[in-house]
Amino acid sequence: MAHGHTVKRYTGIMDWITTVDHKKIGILYLIAGGFFFLIGGLEAILIRIQLWQPMNDFLSADMYNQVLTMHGTTMIFLAAMPILFALMNAIVPLQIGARDVAFPFLNSLGFWTFLFGGLLLNISWFAGGAPNAGWTSYVPLASPVYSDTHGVDFYVIGLQISGIGTLIGGINFLVTIINMRAPGMSFMRMPMFTWSIFVTSALILFAFPALTVGLAALMFDRLFSANFFNPEMGGNAVLWEHIFWIFGHPEVYILILPAFGIISEVIATFSRKRLFGYSSMVFATVLIGFLGFMVWAHHMFTTGLGPVANALFSIATMLIAVPTGIKIFNWIFTMWGGSITFNSANLYAIGFVPTFVMGGVTGVMLAAAPADYQYHDTYFVVAHFHYVIVGGLVLGIFAGLHYWWPKMFGKMLNETLGKITFWTFYIGFHLTFFVQHFLGLMGMPRRIYQYLDGLGFNQMNLISTIGALLMGIGSILFVVNIIVTSRSKEKLGADPWGDGRTLEWTIPSPPPEYNFLQTPLVRGFDALWKEKMDGNKTVTPAEPVGPIHMPSPSILPFFMSVGLFIGGFGFMYHQYIIGGVGLLITFTCMILRSLYDDHGYHIEVEELEKGVKA
């Protein structure tokens, strides 16, 4: 029987809380990630205001440490990753011709745990102080002895909860990409963005458990007086550094690989050319992902691991330059002989290439351990990782948002505003971070709340602050652009750029809830482009029109996350009854989910013909 059962369709806010539709979850990720991006950006501005002149007293020393910790933590875990998850959710199922992800319920759970974890972390501002031991939370500084507010407790529990979301998101996308590709979509026909998400998801699967273990151990140290990292009781402080960076280094590739994927799509589309050296791009992505696990100790050259470890990790780190170089040249040669359009999406993508090269070469410089004894923990490092994370990842995200906005929302972002935003942000970015290389080499350590006068740091810090303000203006302009765009009444077709190459451009913008009326048949790499070149309007369907099976919406993921939120709060303050109630809510939801069979529902052919509202 085609009918599972009738399903309750929610509207308004209930629709968003209960949705398991990957496109809506993508939008939720985008809103939440964007919100945290603005908070993290505000923290960045506070940091730069504090440092605009020597011995400034805008922020107190301890407040500065809280702001710097929350800036890093928020930007990495609550802004960058969720916005990537937004694009992953919105685009990957479309690119592989799927109707949804493999586990729609888990997808929703992933979002809500991330959101409540992030909110918990940020509540620390109003609960006696935010975490203040840096986003790396090195012990003993982060131990209860030296950090006696609840700040680091919020860090440990907030990140643990939001980390659950990331881990199940990663697993979900691995399964989706392995199992749910349309007929004909072999691995070596997958779009580059999907490939990069595939490798990223694998990295999440292997890297996040390390963080989970580390955070659990630190939580026991802090809440229940365990001694995993307490040297006086036989614990080991260097162990935390290892655990953190075994997670932390793959994490930076988790962040940058999707950006590589986005850039590959955008540059190819707006050069009207096939991605140059697709197979070597795939190979390079996998290799970067693999090597990403072999280099964690380059964050620890000054920890005192000895010359053998330092030499090995130096060489391993330098090796990453090779696959990265392959990618850079492949992008340039994708444009070579192409027909390049300079719209805002492509401006970000083109701007990405030289900026990322600059971040990459300083990465190789940092890999030379003896030179790193000088660079380590200075503004040189700050400049380096902002070049790869802002100049790489954030530019990539902006490129992706401009490129896929019409697919996600059915409207083009305003081009004029987009270009102004690009130039403001781009110039601001280089102003902020270029000079920081020199500050570091001239002797300015990172994470300092003030610097003395007369050390020669003044001018460059002022320049840096001006740049940061420009970046702030750029970010606000982007928000303005979203508001302006949301008011426009334009209706777009399936392929608004006209040069779409991949499957997402074969379906309406925004796509209906079932994505593909008929699952497409993929006949080659760049499936849509191939059909266009063969004189077809769109891809051939692989099945007749029939009832489409859909997963039911559910409120359970929301309540499971609320339960974890309450539980985390309770345990942090040693209120075990509250903690127990929180966990009880979560477990009850899990039991409900396990006992109550929900087979979803079908959208019938008659309904499909009428056209279902997205």
Partner 1 sequence: MMKRWPVVTRLLPLLAGLALLLSACGREDLSALRPQGPVAREQFGLMQLSISIMVIVVVVVFALAIYVLIRFRRRKGDDTIPVQVEGNHKLEIIWTVIPLMLLVVLGVPTIQSVFGLAKDYSQDENAIQVKVTAHQYWWEFEYPQYGITTAQDLVIPEGKIISIEAQTADVIHSFWIPSLAGKIDTNPAGNVNRMFFQADRTGVFLGKCAELCGPSHANMDFKVKAVDEASFQRWTTAMAAPAVLPEDPAVAELLASQCLTCHAIGDQGISLYPDLTGIGSRESVAGILVNVPEGEAEYTNEGTVYENLKRWLTDTEAVKPGNQMGQMDLTEEEIDALASYLAEQKLEY
Binding to partner 1 by CB under 8 A, coded x per residue (else -) over 58-77, reads --xxx-xx------------
Among 378, 424, 465, 506, indicate the residue that binds partner 1 (CB under 8 A): 378
Applying the rule CB under 8 A, the residues between 184 and 243 that interact with partner 1 are: 231-232, 236-238
Span of 25-33, 277-285, 412-420, 474-482 interacting with partner 1 by CB under 8 A: 277-285
* All residues at 6 or more sequence positions from 500 whose CB lies less than 8 Å from its CB, including other chains: 269, 494, 506, 528, 529
Q: How far is the CB of 410 from partner 1 (least distance, A)?
A: 25
Q: How far is the CB of 416 from partner 1 (least distance, A)?
A: 18
Q: How far is the CB of 571 from partner 1 (least distance, A)?
A: 25
Among 438, 476, 580, 590, indicate the residue that binds partner 1 (CB under 8 A): 438
List the one residue out of 6, 3, 157 whose CA is nearest residue 573: 157
Contacts 24+ apart (CB under 8 A), 3-12: 3/601, 3/602, 3/604, 4/549, 4/599, 4/600, 4/601, 4/602, 5/599, 5/601, 6/601, 7/550, 7/552, 7/553, 7/600, 7/601, 8/553, 9/553, 10/553
Strand partners, 548: 603
Alpha carbon distance, N-terminus to C-terminus of the chain: 25
Question: Which parts of 74-225 are beta strand (E)?
Answer: none
The nearer residue to partner 1, 139 or 393, going by C-beta atoms, is: 139
Among 452, 483, 577, 595, indicate the residue that binds partner 1 (CB under 8 A): 452
CB 601 within 8 A of CB 547: no
Applying the rule CB under 8 A, the residues between 499 and 558 that interact with partner 1 are: 533
Applying the rule CB under 8 A, the residues between 322 and 341 that interact with partner 1 are: 322, 325-326, 328-330, 332-333, 335-341
**306 scored as a contact of partner 1 (CB under 8 A):** yes
Q: How far is the CB of 520 from partner 1 (least distance, A)?
A: 21
Applying the rule CB under 8 A, the residues between 555 and 594 that interact with partner 1 are: none
Among 52, 138, 423, 514, indicate the residue that binds partner 1 (CB under 8 A): 138
Q: How far is the CB of 127 from partner 1 (least distance, A)?
A: 19
**463 scored as a contact of partner 1 (CB under 8 A):** no
**279 scored as a contact of partner 1 (CB under 8 A):** yes
Question: Which parts of 386-511 are beta strand (E)?
Answer: none
Q: How far is the CB of 371 from partner 1 (least distance, A)?
A: 4
The nearer residue to partner 1, 269 or 554, going by C-beta atoms, is: 269
Among 33, 93, 97, 140, indicate the residue that binds partner 1 (CB under 8 A): 140
Q: How far is the CB of 522 from partner 1 (least distance, A)?
A: 17
CB 163 within 8 A of CB 212: yes
Q: What DSSP state is assigned to residue 446?
A: S
**d(C-alpha 264, C-alpha 504), whole Å:** 15
Q: How far is the CB of 388 from partner 1 (least distance, A)?
A: 14
Helix (H) or strand (E) holding 603: strand 601-603
List the one residue out of 137, 84, 150 whose CA is nearest residue 111: 84
**d(C-alpha 135, C-alpha 239), whole Å:** 16
List the one residue out of 183, 68, 168, 188 whose CA is nearest residue 110: 168
**448 scored as a contact of partner 1 (CB under 8 A):** yes
Could you tell me the two tokens for 207?
């890297």
Q: Give SS3 for 438.
A: helix
Among 441, 469, 484, 583, indicate the residue that binds partner 1 (CB under 8 A): 441
**55 scored as a contact of partner 1 (CB under 8 A):** yes
**349 scored as a contact of partner 1 (CB under 8 A):** no
Among 173, 296, 426, 451, indicate the residue that binds partner 1 (CB under 8 A): 451
Amino acid identity for residue 603 in this structure: I
Applying the rule CB under 8 A, the residues between 75 and 94 that interact with partner 1 are: none
The burial class, CB within 10 Å (0-12 / 13-18 / 19+), for 512 is middle
**294 scored as a contact of partner 1 (CB under 8 A):** no
Per-residue b/e over 575-597, b at no fewer than 16 CB within 10 Å?
eeebbeebbebbeebeeebeeee
Among 73, 107, 108, 314, indicate the residue that binds partner 1 (CB under 8 A): 314
The nearer residue to partner 1, 178 or 533, going by C-beta atoms, is: 533
What are the angstrom distances between the C-alpha of 237 and each of 164, 227, 253?
25, 10, 25
Q: What DSSP state is assigned to residue 393?
A: I
List the one residue out of 29, 175, 22, 28 whose CA is nearest residue 99: 22
The nearer residue to partner 1, 303 or 414, going by C-beta atoms, is: 303
Span of 5-13, 161-169, 319-327, 425-433 interacting with partner 1 by CB under 8 A: 319-327
Among 212, 303, 414, 588, indicate the residue that binds partner 1 (CB under 8 A): 303
Per-residue b/e over 24-36, b at no fewer than 16 CB within 10 Å?
bbbbbbbebbbbb
Applying the rule CB under 8 A, the residues between 352 and 371 that interact with partner 1 are: 353-354, 357-358, 361-362, 364-365, 367-371
Span of 38-46, 249-257, 267-275, 514-522 interacting with partner 1 by CB under 8 A: 267-275
Span of 2-10, 28-36, 289-297, 448-456 interacting with partner 1 by CB under 8 A: 448-456
Among 178, 315, 555, 591, indicate the residue that binds partner 1 (CB under 8 A): 315
Among 77, 85, 105, 276, indicate the residue that binds partner 1 (CB under 8 A): 276
For residues 605, 606, 610 and 614, what is the CA-based torsion angle, rounded to 10 degrees? -50
Number of residues that bind partner 1 (CB under 8 A): 93
Applying the rule CB under 8 A, the residues between 25 and 54 that interact with partner 1 are: 54
Q: How far is the CB of 4 from partner 1 (least distance, A)?
A: 45
What are the angstrom distances between the C-alpha of 609 and each of 29, 157, 517, 606?
31, 49, 10, 5
The nearer residue to partner 1, 43 or 513, going by C-beta atoms, is: 43
Amino acid identity for residue 42 in this structure: L
